[in-house]
């Protein structure tokens, strides 16, 4: 996963047989009982590795997908919930401690009695403010007032590292939220998008009735909201364009902002937010801001109000009544992604705590679950894979020496973060009350939003803090941040099947080793490669090498665009290119890292009848085992820059000569890809 820090505050299964976690308890490394020995690895590698698992496993009713990542996340959530609920029973953590605040937030979200009793009362004051808007001047005042609480739509500002000077914080301006998850849902003529638009209108109409709106009027307002959001979606960059930081980095003087959207008095707006002394703002989508001016000039105030009411209700739905919460789930989880039932309430509450004040809860998790030895072992593996990556760069035949020097410099200067922050976030100024103290989920959520906003705006006066983390320790994931030129591995991902200190190293290199290589590769994918060793958006490529790199990326994109997970539904190779480069570079680097390890520590020979090289590739396909519901696949190809997991498990391998050699793959085999069609980038 790659994270680009803009920090914009935008107003916006049942498993038959053994689960992966149970199998890992019995088998350290590869559980061959989950493989299908009737399938030849040279014909269908994914089924060879995962066939029995695929036959025996059903997606849980409350999930839209299920696989190795999901199993580990479920098990980690169970661990964290047990820790959280145990802590909540003790008197050790008071409300002024970070851990106490995490406990209080969890309790307030779980207090459904209070939430149901309050109804929509928490948002009534804000609905009244929306209703009082008569013109664009009133609208501006309301946007200023609501900005610290997440905004009320249209646009939002936030502070983050300057893409061209990563040690300096700058002010960013970007589009506000829409109710559908991507532009395609509004403008595409494909059957799925049309179907989802109609169902979205019905959902909005249903939700508006919770505000007391009569059914017929709610239908009319829903029609208006869809049309209004469509007009706001059309001028936005598409999903591929948004990945190109060069297109979203548009410094504008305040006077230029006044040319783009003169209806907003920008100096007055910024000073109202407590922002002074700013002469330049980074505008992510100028064409959108121009189109917003047309919307303001049309002065269709009732359309503005409908959009703001819906934005407010949609954003608050999870903190209001259980009936409203369920209605929201029925569209966003059931209709859009195919879920069959809601997840347990405590799991949803945990996700809210993780997302809002994850490090406060992370302190409890690290105390119980993350030994110091795990961090040290991970550091050793990262060092080996970085070394292997450097050797790969030096041996590239398509890149000249000048570009190689810059690439090696960037590689050598990658920052590494493992487990948890050296310095935790300071939550001392944040007030989170328990239900016993009068705290509610809605009020605590508003306090968190206000705290985040103030902290973010205060960053404008400070240099960039590159020690900050953007994932909590209990998150099963990893990321690369191009502005910081850093790779980050939270504690929770350093567990089986990704990492098991009792397993042979081939399995670990195929798991966490390839994840490490994947994150390193993000520094050299089609987006990350635009940043230099300092994390600045500066071209360090020779013209000829950049041309070759672009051609190689296009060839890889074509491979993935040919994939059709459902009839008529194709993977978008351009949209997923960064993650696909990450997978290809990651498994290559993991293979070479394993060779360095074996050279130094000796080859253990066959284990379970497989060589270390074969076990590495089997391990890789194991971590990507999974199933998805059809609706989830449709949504993923529109909104997620990652390819579906079943493709990640074998498509990168088709490009590797080492994979062909390991399993004796030859022309005519299902897994064979002719050498001239294989893509080698890193």
Per DSSP, the residues of 215-230 read HHHHHHHHHHHHHHHH
| Signed CA dihedral, 379, 480, 514, 407: sign only | negative
Q: What's the CATH code of the domain at 206?
A: 1.10.1380.10
Mean local confidence (pLDDT), 271-284? 96
- Does residue 550 share a domain with residue 405? yes
- Does residue 403 share a domain with residue 502? yes
Check residue 34 and give its pLDDT: 97
Long-range Cβ contact pairs of 192-200 (< 8 A, separation 24 or more): 192/569, 192/634, 193/638, 196/335, 196/336, 197/226, 199/331, 199/335, 200/226, 200/331
- Answer yes or no: is 503 within a domain: yes
Predicted confidence (pLDDT) per residue in 580-611, tens digit: 999 999 999 999 999 999 999 999 999 999 99
Domain holding 208, by residue range, is 121-319
Please count the structural domains in the chain: 2
- Does residue 218 share a domain with residue 291? yes
Q: What's the CATH code of the domain at 393?
A: 3.40.390.10
- Answer yes or no: is 223 within a domain: yes
* 3-class secondary structure, 644: coil
d(CA 522, CA 535): 12
Residue finishing a domain among 279, 303, 319: 319
d(CA 335, CA 330): 6
Residue finishing a domain among 295, 319, 343: 319
Judge contact between 517 and 199, C-beta under 8 A: no
- Does residue 250 share a domain with residue 388? no
Sheet holding 486-490, edge to edge: 415-419, 486-490, 479-481
- Answer yes or no: is 40 within a domain: no
- Does residue 272 share a domain with residue 403? no
Alpha helix (H) residue ranges in 27-67? 45-56
Residue-averaged pLDDT of the chain? 94
**Of 177, 163, 187, whose CA–CA distance to 283 is shortest?**
163
Side-chain-side CA neighbours of residue 393 (13 Å): 23
- Answer yes or no: is 638 within a domain: yes
- Does residue 410 share a domain with residue 268? no
Q: Which of 65-79, 197-211, 360-374, 532-546 shows the lowest mean pLDDT across its residues? A: 360-374
Adjacent-strand bridge partners of 159:
171
Side-chain-side CA neighbours of residue 269 (13 Å): 24
- Does residue 407 share a domain with residue 269? no
- Does residue 310 share a domain with residue 236? yes
- Answer yes or no: is 229 within a domain: yes
* 3-class secondary structure, 486: strand
pTM for the model stands at 0.93
- Answer yes or no: is 450 within a domain: no
Confidence of residue 26 (pLDDT cuts 50, 70, 90): low
Mean local confidence (pLDDT), 68-97? 95
Judge contact between 208 and 310, C-beta under 8 A: yes
Adjacent-strand bridge partners of 173:
157, 283
- Does residue 300 share a domain with residue 388? no
- Does residue 184 share a domain with residue 287? yes
Mean local confidence (pLDDT), 427-437? 97
Confidence of residue 1 (pLDDT cuts 50, 70, 90): low
d(CA 138, CA 143): 9
- Does residue 176 share a domain with residue 285? yes
- Answer yes or no: is 63 within a domain: no
- Does residue 510 share a domain with residue 407? yes
**Of 368, 330, 20, 292, whose CA–CA distance to 140 is shortest?**
292
Mean local confidence (pLDDT), 76-89? 95
- Answer yes or no: is 335 within a domain: no
Predicted confidence (pLDDT) per residue in 377-422, tens digit: 788 889 999 999 999 999 999 999 999 999 999 999 999 999 999 9
Residue finishing a domain among 263, 285, 319: 319
Q: Greater confidence, 3 or 49? A: 49
pLDDT(84) > 70: yes
């Amino acid at each position: 996963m790659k994270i680009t820090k803009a920090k914009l505050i935008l107003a916006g299964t049942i498993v038959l047989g053994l689960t992966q976690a149970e199998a890992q308890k019995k088998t350290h490394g590869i559980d061959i009982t989950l493989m299908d020995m009737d399938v030849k690895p040279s014909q269908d590698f994914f089924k060879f590795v995962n066939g029995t698992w695929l036959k025996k496993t059903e997606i849980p009713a409350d999930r839209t997908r299920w696989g190795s990542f999901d199993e580990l996340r479920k098990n980690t959530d169970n661990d964290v919930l047990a820790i959280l609920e145990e802590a909540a029973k003790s008197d050790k953590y008071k409300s002024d401690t970070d851990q106490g605040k995490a406990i209080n937030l969890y309790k307030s979200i779980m207090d459904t009695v209070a939430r149901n009793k309050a109804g929509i009362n928490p948002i009534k004051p804000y609905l009244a403010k929306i209703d009082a808007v008569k013109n664009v001047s009133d609208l501006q005042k309301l946007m200023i007032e609501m900005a610290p609480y997440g905004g009320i739509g249209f646009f939002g500002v936030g502070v983050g590292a300057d893409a061209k000077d990563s040690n300096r914080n700058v002010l960013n301006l970007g589009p506000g939220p829409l109710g559908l998850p991507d532009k395609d849902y509004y403008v595409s003529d494909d059957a799925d998008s049309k179907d989802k638009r109609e169902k979205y209108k019905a959902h909005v109409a249903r939700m508006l009735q919770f505000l007391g709106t009569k059914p017929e009027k709610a239908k009319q307002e829903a029609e208006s909201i869809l049309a209004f959001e469509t007009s706001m979606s059309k001028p936005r960059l598409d999903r591929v364009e948004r990945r190109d930081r060069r297109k979203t980095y548009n410094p504008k003087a305040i006077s230029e902002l006044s040319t783009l959207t003169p209806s907003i008095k920008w100096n007055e707006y910024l000073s109202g937010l407590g922002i002074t002394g700013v002469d330049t703002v980074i505008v992510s989508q100028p064409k959108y801001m121009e189109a917003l001016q047309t919307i303001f000039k049309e002065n269709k105030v009732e359309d503005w109000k409908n959009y703001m009411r819906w934005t407010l209700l949609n954003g608050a739905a999870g903190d209001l009544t259980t009936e409203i919460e369920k209605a929201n789930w029925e569209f966003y989880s059931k209709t859009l992604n195919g879920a069959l039932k809601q997840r347990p309430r405590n799991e949803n509450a945990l996700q809210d705590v993780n997302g809002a004040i994850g490090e406060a809860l992370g302190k409890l998790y690290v105390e119980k679950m993350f030994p110091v030895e795990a961090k040290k072992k991970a550091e050793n593996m990262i060092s080996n894979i970085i070394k292997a990556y450097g050797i790969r760069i030096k041996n590239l035949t398509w890149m000249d020496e000048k570009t190689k020097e810059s690439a090696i410099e960037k590689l050598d200067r990658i920052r590494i973060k493992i487990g948890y922050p050296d310095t935790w976030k300071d939550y001392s100024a944040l007030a989170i009350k328990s239900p016993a103290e009068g705290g509610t989920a809605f009020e605590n959520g508003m306090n968190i939003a206000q705290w985040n906003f103030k902290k973010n705006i205060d960053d404008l006066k400070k240099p960039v803090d590159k020690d900050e983390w953007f994932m909590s320790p209990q998150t099963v994931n990893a990321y690369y941040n191009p502005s910081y030129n850093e790779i980050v591995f939270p504690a929770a991902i350093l567990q089986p099947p990704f990492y098991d200190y009792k397993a042979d190293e081939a399995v670990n290199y195929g798991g966490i080793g390839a994840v490490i290589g994947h994150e390193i590769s993000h520094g050299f994918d089609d987006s990350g490669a635009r940043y230099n060793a300092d994390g600045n958006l500066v071209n360090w490529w020779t013209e000829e090498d950049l041309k070759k790199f672009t051609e190689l990326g296009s060839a890889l994109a074509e491979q993935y665009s040919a994939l059709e997970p459902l009839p008529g539904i194709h993977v978008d190779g351009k949209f997923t290119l960064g993650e696909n480069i990450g997978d290809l570079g990651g498994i290559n680097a993991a293979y070479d890292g394993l060779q360095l390890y074996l050279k130094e520590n000796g080859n253990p020979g066959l284990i379970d009848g497989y060589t270390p090289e074969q076990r590495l590739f089997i391990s890789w396909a194991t971590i990507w085992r999974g199933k998805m519901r059809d609706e989830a696949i449709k949504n993923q190809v529109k909104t997620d820059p990652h390819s579906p997991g079943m493709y990640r498990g074998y498509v990168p391998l088709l490009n590797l000569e080492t994979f062909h050699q390991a399993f004796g793959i030859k022309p005519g085999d299902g897994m064979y890809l002719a050498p001239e069609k294989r893509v080698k980038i890193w």
